[in-house]
Amino acid sequence: MSELTEPLKQPAGRRPRVVIVGSGFGGLHAAIGLAKLPVDVTIVDRRNHHTFQPLLYQVALAVLSPANIAQPIRSILRKQPNTEVLMDDVVGIDQTAHLVILGSGAQLEYDYLVLATGATHSYFGKDEWAPLAPGLKTIEDALEIRRRVLLAFELAERQMQEHGWHPPLDFVVIGGGPTGVELAGAISDIAQLYMRRDFRHIDPATSRVLLLDAGPRLLAAYPEDLSAKAHEELARLGVEVHVTSPVTGIGPGWVEFNGQRINAAVTLWAAGVQASPLGKLLGAPVDHRGCVLVDHHLNPAAMPEVFVLGDLAHFEQDGRQVPGVAQPAMQMGDHVGRIVSADLAGRSRPAFRYFDKGDMATIGRMAAIAKVEWPFKAHWSGFLAWATWLTVHIFFLIGFRNRLAVFAAWIWTYFTFTHGARLITGDQRLPGWHEQVAAGPAEEQTPASSC
């Protein structure tokens, strides 16, 4: 054991101060894990709400409202007297003076610092792609994707009614991880099932959904049989999956891959993530995505008072990096409480070990894939996996009211084939649409049966 297993020396004459930056799964669980300890906790986030990211794609596709999957951090932690919430940006960390520097200019002293600011999109250096192909990390991102997808149908209807043709309703999702798979399946659902009865001129079912991935198979983090199942289920929904297809260009209204340029009414980005810039601010070693390398106490090298959690952390176990999903983040958050508790008691620090209960992703209306690791091992797909997914996600949603509301929205959507939150807010422009209209109809772009 290294010397870091030794408990940290505690400040004399006052309670230790813990500053947590970020209120995702990691930050929130760290706060909750510290609730009963004699420490003073401040949790800082630039947003006032915790977002249940696994259901963000359902906000993007108009099944749920933002308030169904987000909860004010203050409300969640209301009954925790040792914790306060501050809505602010973190712009710097002074490790010598043990200070977190905030966007408002103020400074927070800490004895322990917990960084859990997660990850954001990475366009692999092509930042000019960002406005053309939004990603899905925040409520605002979800509303922007919703706006674009719904607007594409409206603009196509208008174009068809006025000019007798419309640019093809092709939706291109880049990236075949869980988010890309979920987005592609959900867009296919919306076009094939939910929008059909609402338009007079276009047939939403003629729209295409393409899912592109640079690697050799979808859901690379899952076992091969589940990747194959997901591929199969997506094909059944009409999604055109292209693997080994790195995207080489994105422009207004088009995407380039494998040497071809295809039309894209809406392009969505689910391909790359990079760690929040806060990791680099820390000055500790990071991996190629900016994730901070942490040891089995979740500390960066030689920083026993700093914990890095969740998507921001690079933690290896059994020779593999623990994935950037909700479960490890929660468990890491919980573990911070255990370590601080050990420090306070003068005990040696317990090592963190990720306990993988399994993982899953939905593929449209009634299918999912699940890799179950606990309480038994199994690979599931189809309806059973989907039912499991529903149950688990309802259970982990924060707030009884949200659980009820999401359950009601799902029941409603499932039985009535209507999405309840189909509102377009914001402006009426869709990047690339004007260019496609100006280019005029191509022969294959105006199916004769589209009326």
Residues that bind a copy of itself (CB under 8 A): 46-49, 65-68, 70, 72, 74-75, 78, 84-89, 102, 104, 106, 139-140, 143, 150, 154-155, 157-158, 161-163, 197-201, 401-402, 404-405, 408, 412, 416, 418, 420-426, 428
Tell me how far apart the alpha carbons of residues 19 and 90 are, in angstroms, rounded to a whole number. 11
Q: How far is the CB of 76 from a copy of itself (least distance, A)?
A: 10
DSSP β-bridge partners for residue 120: 274
- Which is nearer to a copy of itself, 46 or 379 (by Cβ)? 46
- Which is nearer to a copy of itself, 165 or 199 (by Cβ)? 199
Closest-CA residue to 191 (of 136, 153, 146): 153
- Which is nearer to a copy of itself, 301 or 404 (by Cβ)? 404
Q: How far is the CB of 138 from a copy of itself (least distance, A)?
A: 9
Closest-CA residue to 40 (of 118, 102, 108, 117): 108
Identify the active-site residue in 182, 224, 305, 443. 182
Closest-CA residue to 314 (of 336, 295, 338): 295
Q: How far is the CB of 158 from a copy of itself (least distance, A)?
A: 6
Q: What is the Cα 115 distance to its own chain's centre?
A: 18
- Which is nearer to a copy of itself, 85 or 209 (by Cβ)? 85
Q: How far is the CB of 404 from a copy of itself (least distance, A)?
A: 7
Tell me how far apart the alpha carbons of residues 212 and 191 are, in angstroms, rounded to a whole number. 19
Bridge-based pairing state of the strands 40-45 and 17-21:
parallel
- Which is nearer to a copy of itself, 47 or 217 (by Cβ)? 47
Q: Any catalytic annotation for residue 182?
A: yes
Q: How far is the CB of 86 from a copy of itself (least distance, A)?
A: 6
311 Cβ partners below 8 Å, 6+ apart?
24, 26, 118, 119, 273, 275, 276, 291, 324, 329
Bridge-based pairing state of the strands 273-275 and 90-94:
unpaired
Which amino acids are annotated catalytic? 182
